[in-house]
Amino acid sequence: MPNLPQRLVCEALGTALLLAAVVGSGIMAQRLSGGNNALALLCNTLPTGAMLTVLILVFGPLSGAHFNPAVSIALAIRRELPWPNAAAYIAAQVGGGVIGVWTAHLMFELPVWQLSFTQRTGTGQWLAEQVATFGLLLTIFGCAARTPTALPYERRFLFESLTVEPGEPYNAAAIRDDARRLERLMGDAGYQSASIEPDPVRAGDLLALTWVIKLGPQTHLGPVFVRGNFVTTPETVLEQIPLRPGDPLTTTNLERGQRNLGFLQLFNNALPISFPGKEEKRDVVPMLVQVEERYEQYSVIHVGAGASTDQKPPDSSLPIGFYLRAGYENRNLLGHGWNFTGQAAYGTSLFRGNVSFLDRRFFGTLFRFDTSLNYLQQATARLGDIRSGGGSIGFSREMYPGVDAGIHYNLRNTTHTESLLRSEGPDALLSTIQLGTTVGSLSFNVEWLRLDNRLVPTRGFRIDAIAEVALPVLSVPLRPLPFPIGDDTFIKVGVHSMTVVPLNSWLALRLGLRFDHGFPLGGPPLLPKVERFFAGGDTTLRGFKLDRARIDEVRFPIYPGVDGVEYRPIGGNLRILQNIDLQFPISPPFYGAVFMDNGVVADSLDGLTASRFRHGVGVSPLLIKLPIGDLSFSWAWPLDPGPGDTKIGVLHVNIGLLF
């Protein structure tokens, strides 16, 4: 059974067609009968009856085919139609009737608006109307009481839904599955108390199977109550449930409501929706939504400190950098189920801040809406002193179980320091220059997730695919601001995957693959430096210093006969990485691992050979599996060290997944 808005459209359309047929056939009969009133009446009655029959057959399974306020009121009195729905039905019938009459007038080139001067009143006419209405209702309810209940689906569709087919061997389990399938179909039509019974009759080695379907009353939704929501607004809770008072109670909509409430991640109970009186086979049942809120997720303040080799200042003698971190998180902002997160970090080489907002059910739809702003100030080896600010806004949704897709609009401005070679002249003391890049882009991503745990997986895989298109026109919103507007046009594509395979009860293999490629469109053959791909460090190629898998060796004179040398990370348009980790338990949650990383940074696939790949091996004597990810301490050696690379190895400290 369609929902209420769809039923109202059917009712209005059916009434319009009926009135168009009644008025149109009357006009045509009057014009063609030559003054013979009996013939005109016959010509008006036959088309009206035929059209009414057709409309009842077409719209009866959809809206009930009332086409008359008297029928809707009578059904409401019998409690077969809620009074609010009856009022909506009557409004749709009146509106459809007016549109149908106007349509008939237009078809016969008559004025749309006409005034009637025929007096249609009197005791006889009022009595005739009452007798006709009584006869109509008597016919409807009398036939309904003596007519076998029609199934809500065509028999052909029901037979096609079965898995057991004629000629197959008898299979009791398959028959039970078909019974559950038919029961679900009836439930999706609102017949929650329907019973499905197979009736097998054996004749020799053959068995005739008859399905006996007893529908029972169609269950409609009555009053709705929400309990246990001390923070979450009732509107937010009900927005997740595609059921409204007066709607048929269907199994699919009930399951969607339970699932959508789970998507909010605000409640402890998995099945908060119930229907008191449903087991008593009532035709109208109330809906009770009893939720248990997770109070520990509201207004959480995070404070912490940490250290990482990735955040080591370039001019520091220490192998790691330290930082402080603070944040605020609210997963039920204003009681609407919105997620708000703000974080800030300050350390020896960086200052980072970001805020994000997420609505998991945008206006009650299956789309997730998210927006974010971020700022970064950091001293890096590859870009010098960097200042970056940006934001994004976009939508995403689950396309299939485990498969998400999204689209985002991104704006970012990055200013970085580029080293210069000293030269003689007025700029002899100038050693750096500030360069800025502004990018506006659209990005598209698809994620296929089959990990048993996103942060600490023990088996499964994850595949991410992303494409980004940057155009100068997309950076227009930043033109009024004092930022250099980027004229860079490029496309980026990437595919990232991670697979976790348990080899036995104590040994697990973790394999990561990453492919990223950027294509400048016109202008320079390379991406802007802040948009290039780099490798080397904790999360890419272990055994190499941060971002130094591909460098540019720059020599410059210091004194006569004495040259200095710098190894500058230059990145590239292309990055291919492979990470292989073999993990074993020490005493859970403490683990160890041996690993090998392989990768290359280049400008294109043209002329790329295996000899250009860099390789590193290492050991993680301590790897702690925390609820937020893996905390690892590793030492790695480059197998093919180049200029500027150490041969004794590099310490890596990381928290989270490498891939």
Least confident of 272-286, 483-497, 562-576, 600-614: 483-497
Give me the sign of the Cα torsion angle 341, 342, 346, 350: positive
pLDDT band of residue 512 (cuts 50, 70, 90) is very high
Alpha-carbon torsion, ordered 139, 143, 146, 151, to 10 deg: -160
C-beta separation of 465 from 514 below 8 A = no
Q: What is the CATH number of domain 220-290?
A: 3.10.20.310
Whether the pLDDT of residue 133 is over 90: the answer is no
Q: How far apart are CA 618 and CA 543, in angstroms?
A: 7
Least confident of 211-215, 293-297, 354-358, 361-365: 293-297
Q: What is the CATH number of domain 155-214?
A: 3.10.20.310
Residue 175, CB half-sphere, CA atoms under 13 Å: how many? Answer: 17
- pTM of the shown model: 0.65
Average pLDDT over residues 42-59: 78
Least confident of 187-201, 280-294, 325-339, 621-635: 621-635
In the block, which residue shows the tokens 């595609």?
242
pLDDT at 71: 85
Q: Which of 362, 344, 363, 364 is nearest to 354 (CA)?
A: 344
pLDDT at 427: 45
Fold of the 4-146 domain: Glycerol uptake facilitator protein (1.20.1080)
**Structural domain boundaries of the chain?**
4-146, 155-214, 220-290, 381-655
| HEC assignment per residue over 139-208 | HHHHHHHHCCCCCCCCHHHHHHCCCCCCCCCCCHHHHHHHHHHHHHHHHHCCCCCCEEEEEEEEECCEEE
Q: Which of 353, 355, 358, 361 is nearest to 331 (CA)?
A: 358
Q: How far apart are CA 386 and CA 376, in angstroms?
A: 8
Q: How far apart are CA 108 and CA 297, in angstroms?
A: 67
Whether 4-146 and 220-290 share one fold: the answer is no
Percent of the chain with pLDDT over 90: 33
Q: How far apart are CA 523 and CA 213, in angstroms?
A: 71
Whether the pLDDT of residue 199 is over 50: the answer is yes
User: Could you count the other beta carbons within 10 Å of the beta carbon of residue 442?
Assistant: 15
Tens-digit pLDDT profile for residues 379-421: 776 666 788 889 999 999 989 888 999 999 999 888 877 665 5
Q: What is the CATH number of domain 381-655?
A: 2.40.160.50
pLDDT band of residue 520 (cuts 50, 70, 90) is very high
Mean pLDDT (the chain, rounded): 84
Tens-digit pLDDT profile for residues 584-614: 999 988 999 999 999 999 999 998 999 999 9
C-beta separation of 550 from 571 below 8 A = yes
Q: How far apart are CA 176 and CA 653, in angstroms?
A: 56
